[in-house]
Amino acid sequence: MKGKSLFIGAIIILFTSIFAFLVYPFLMMALSSFQTNAQDAFTLANYQEVFSKPMYLTAFTNSILISLISSIVAIIITLIATYAIKSKSEKFQNNILVMANLTSNFAGIPLAFAFIILLGNTGIFVLLDKTLGWNLLDGFNLYSWSGLVLIYIYFQLPLGIMLLYPIFDGLDKHWREAATILGASDIQYWRRIAIPYITPSVLGVFTIMFANAMGAYASAYALTGSTYNMLAIRIGATVSGDIFARPEIAAALSIILAIILLINMIINDWLTGRMRRDAQ
């Protein structure tokens, strides 16, 4: 009886915490997105403003493009890297996973500061490039679109390795042995067995990377401040207020961001389900 009471109490605490810290704030945010400071009545004025002002539309475009490009590049790099890691010894694999886990926590302001030290206007690599006369970094600007893409790719790499490793670990070595015995070449094995098996999971990892990039704030803000228009930075600016705070606009932008990520998940689930059906 005592154990049952503890279980019920734990369930109540769990659902209360979920409601208090997730459901209730989201409901309040959604409600405030349909209100203005001037009146509490229901209105679509906030969404109308968001979709009519170029400033907000540019923020959506920049965030989606940077997230897509960084996620595509990162998923390609991590696919190759994870496959190479799996071909090494178990001790080497464990060491790499530990390093990936550590570097995945090195994000936000410390990561931006590290990039500024290395690739800023007076960064170590920039000064070294000029001293040696290579001039390879003459056209590179860390505080621009290319700099943001670079830093986004960097913090996506450890995440990709940790998520892709179990996928490659699921490739049974006996499948390759059986395919070889049946006369299949390496290309046929990857085309007919391995790639159809890992593709749905890889799409899932790509979805996580895209969502991770769309919601990133600290690194981008520390690197560019408010000079580059991105969705997360724009939400922060409307909450804190460049001139005065507009939390209702921030709420509307956040709801649209949530819808974008939801659409991303739906498309991924649809593609994943279709690929798995075709593979059967």
Write the pLDDT tens digit of every residue in 177-207: 888 888 888 888 888 888 888 888 898 899 9
What is the per-residue pLDDT for 79?
Answer: 93
| Whether residue 240 sits in one domain with residue 169 | yes
pLDDT at position 169 over 60: yes
Q: Quick check: is 221 in a domain?
A: yes
Domain that holds residue 4: 1-32
Reported for 79-83, long-range contacts at CB under 8 A and 24+ positions apart, including other chains, are: 79/160, 79/164, 79/202, 81/157, 81/161, 82/160, 82/161, 82/164, 82/165, 82/167, 82/168, 83/168
Read off the CATH number of the domain in which 197 is found: 1.10.3720.10
What is the per-residue pLDDT for 278?
Answer: 59
| Whether residue 199 sits in one domain with residue 148 | yes
Q: What is the mean pLDDT of the chain?
A: 86
| Whether residue 70 sits in one domain with residue 135 | yes
Q: Quick check: is 40 in a domain?
A: no
**Which residues, other chains included, contact 140 with Cβ-Cβ below 8 Å and sequence gap of 6+?**
119, 126, 146, 147
Q: Quick check: is 211 in a domain?
A: yes
Task: Tell me the whole-structure pTM to 2 decimals.
Answer: 0.86
| Whether residue 28 sits in one domain with residue 119 | no
Report pLDDT digits (tens) over 61-77.
999 999 999 999 999 99
pLDDT at position 116 over 60: yes
| Whether residue 74 sits in one domain with residue 9 | no
**pLDDT band for position 225 (cuts 50, 70, 90):** confident
| Whether residue 232 sits in one domain with residue 136 | yes
Closest CA to 107 of 164, 156, 144, 71: 156
Instruction: State the DSSP code for 23.
Output: I
What is the per-residue pLDDT for 265?
Answer: 85
The residue that leads in pLDDT, 103 or 75, is: 75
Q: Give the whole-angstrom CA distance, residue 232 versus residue 215.
A: 6
Q: Quick check: is 250 in a domain?
A: yes
| Domains identified in the chain, total number | 2
| Whether residue 89 sits in one domain with residue 16 | no
Report pLDDT digits (tens) over 207-222.
999 999 998 888 888 8
Q: Quick check: is 62 in a domain?
A: yes
| Whether residue 103 sits in one domain with residue 20 | no
**pLDDT band for position 1 (cuts 50, 70, 90):** low
Report pLDDT digits (tens) over 122-151.
888 888 888 888 888 888 888 888 889 999
| Whether residue 110 sits in one domain with residue 12 | no
pLDDT at position 168 over 70: yes
pLDDT at position 231 over 70: yes
Q: Give the whole-angstrom CA distance, residue 111 versus residue 122.
A: 17
| Whether residue 61 sits in one domain with residue 22 | no
pLDDT at position 172 over 90: no
